[in-house]
Amino acid sequence: MEDYINELKEFLKIPSISTLPEYKNEIEHCAKFVAENLEKIGMSRVEIFKTEGHPVVYSEWLGAPGKPTVLVYGHYDVQPVDPVELWNSPPFEPVIKEGKIFARGATDDKGQLFVHLKSVEAFFKTEGSLPLNIKFLIEGEEEIASESLRVFLKNNTDLLKCDAVLVSDTSLYAAGVPTLTYGLRGLSYFEVEMEGPNRDLHSGSFGGSVANPINILSDVISKLHDKNGRITIPGFYDDVLKLSKKERENFKVLKFSEKEYAKDLGVSELSGEKGFTTLERIWARPTLDCNGIIGGFTGIGAKTIIPSKVTAKISMRLVPSQNSVKIAKQFARYVKKLAPKSVKIKVTELHSGQPGITPIENPANVAAAKAMEKAFGKKTIFVREGGSIPIVTDFSKRLKSPVVLMGLGLDSENLHSPNEHFDLKHFQLGIISSAYFIKEYSEKS
């Protein structure tokens, strides 16, 4: 474990931020680190594939003919670090405190991904081989919606052929509780720009004569929900699968405490779509949120202007069987309709990803549930997830293989937020789970 943790630290030191162009070299450096580690642990083929965007690392060991093949997927890219002043230690100088490792990417996804490299390493060290065939596919664009990997997957379906895909990039339901995820939400992400007057204007001389784009945009955003917390885009709910009674009951069994949840988040009341519990709202209902607004005067003190322009970033989380292409069209049409003629509006799609569900009963999930149960010493539970991993539905579609979402993080580990960390206990239990999974799944007929 000590060696594994030291190597993880080296991995976490690389600032592989995918969304900021100035980190391109670091991204390449990080792909190299992953490739070198795969070579070091004893994989027989390791290759870095260039793409239009960030490199894809592919590796295989196919020394168990006649046995199943597992494709491990993960991402080596990380989110930006801002607001950096809120970090208790620098984001790319990993430190361990109370059994947790703190750094950007610790839980999302470097720590979780590294688990599988280390379980394979342990097999090679102790038994000299694996009981099944293994492929690794590790990308650098997950946090920007996996555009290049989608192309790579389309052009390399034979290379990536497998019986199951194994992903650790989701969360445990709670610390120490073995958890498999069977549903992910999709995503549709937009920038909406509104332009009023052709320059910033003195709000005294001009106030009252022209539309203020920030006022207008705020009004449009507020119209996207009704008083019951439902999204008002026409047709938005048409394809939403209703929650079955069975699923609603399964969620209830999890004994989710809304009170503790609210307390942890520092809010006195939770909020969302009327008629649904918090877990239902997060896991099985679509949502719409404004992620940020850029516009007007935001410096210290006052400056009396009517701004010329404003931009909002707005995202929707989608659920089966909504289609992100259809939703994107509906959204663009509706916000354009809501905007008055007094502003020019531009709607640009940034990212998208389809929602997906994997059947709980497939043999890979059964093997994974057993493996986690053995490692954690508790029964594995099945949950859905509010976040998105855009490439997962492409795996199902192109490779026709079930995807096992063996999450090892915690929602409380500050992914995408300052002071991201990963519990090293879960790092270790993850390695053991991964090893048990390899064993269990190799015995499937």
> Catalytic site residues?
77, 142
Footprint on residues 89-128 left by Mn ion (CB under 5 A): 108-109
* Residue ranges with strand state E in 207-362: 287-295, 305-306, 309-318, 344-353, 356-357
Pick the closer one to Mn ion by CB: 169 or 413: 169
Pick the closer one to ligand BES by CB: 232 or 412: 412
Pick the closer one to ligand BES by CB: 77 or 440: 77
Interacting span for ligand BES (CB under 6 A) from 49-57, 90-98, 139-147, 371-379: 139-147
7 binds ligand BES (CB under 6 A): no
Cβ contact 412:390 at 8 Å: no
387 binds ligand BES (CB under 6 A): yes
119 binds ligand BES (CB under 6 A): no
The one among 55, 307, 390, 402 contacting ligand BES by CB under 6 A: 390
Distance from chain centroid for Cα 99: 24
The one among 55, 186, 213, 353 contacting ligand BES by CB under 6 A: 353
Task: Kindly report the number of other CB atoms within 10 A of residue 24's CB atom.
Answer: 15
The one among 143, 280, 420, 423 contacting ligand BES by CB under 6 A: 143
Q: Which does residue 145 touch among ligand BES, Mn ion, none (CB within 5 to 8 A, set by kind)?
A: ligand BES
Cβ contact 35:57 at 8 Å: yes
Pick the closer one to ligand BES by CB: 132 or 389: 389
Task: Kindly report the number of other CB atoms within 10 A of residue 40's CB atom.
Answer: 12
Cβ contact 405:283 at 8 Å: no
Pick the closer one to ligand BES by CB: 307 or 390: 390
Torsions phi, psi for 89 (to 5 deg): -145, 155
We find the least distance from the C-beta atom of residue 109 to ligand BES, in angstroms, to be 6
Cβ contact 330:318 at 8 Å: no
Cα separations in angstroms, 433 against 38, 64, 114, 426? 19, 20, 13, 10
The one among 7, 26, 60, 108 contacting ligand BES by CB under 6 A: 108
Would you mind telling me the total number of residues written for the chain in this entry? 445
Cβ contact 166:120 at 8 Å: no
* Residue ranges with strand state E in 249-359: 287-295, 305-306, 309-318, 344-353, 356-357
* Pairing status of strand 69-75 against strand 164-167: parallel
We find the least distance from the C-beta atom of residue 421 to ligand BES, in angstroms, to be 14
74 binds ligand BES (CB under 6 A): no
Q: Which does residue 74 touch among ligand BES, Mn ion, none (CB within 5 to 8 A, set by kind)?
A: none
169 binds Mn ion (CB under 5 A): yes
142 binds ligand BES (CB under 6 A): yes
Residue 127 contacts by C-beta under 8 Å, 6 or more apart in sequence? none
Q: Which does residue 187 touch among Mn ion, ligand BES, none (CB within 5 to 8 A, set by kind)?
A: ligand BES
- With the C-alpha atoms ordered 308, 83, 415, 229, is the resulting torsion angle positive or negative? negative
Residues in contact with ligand BES by the rule CB under 6 A: 108-109, 142-143, 145, 169-171, 187, 351, 353, 385, 387-390, 411
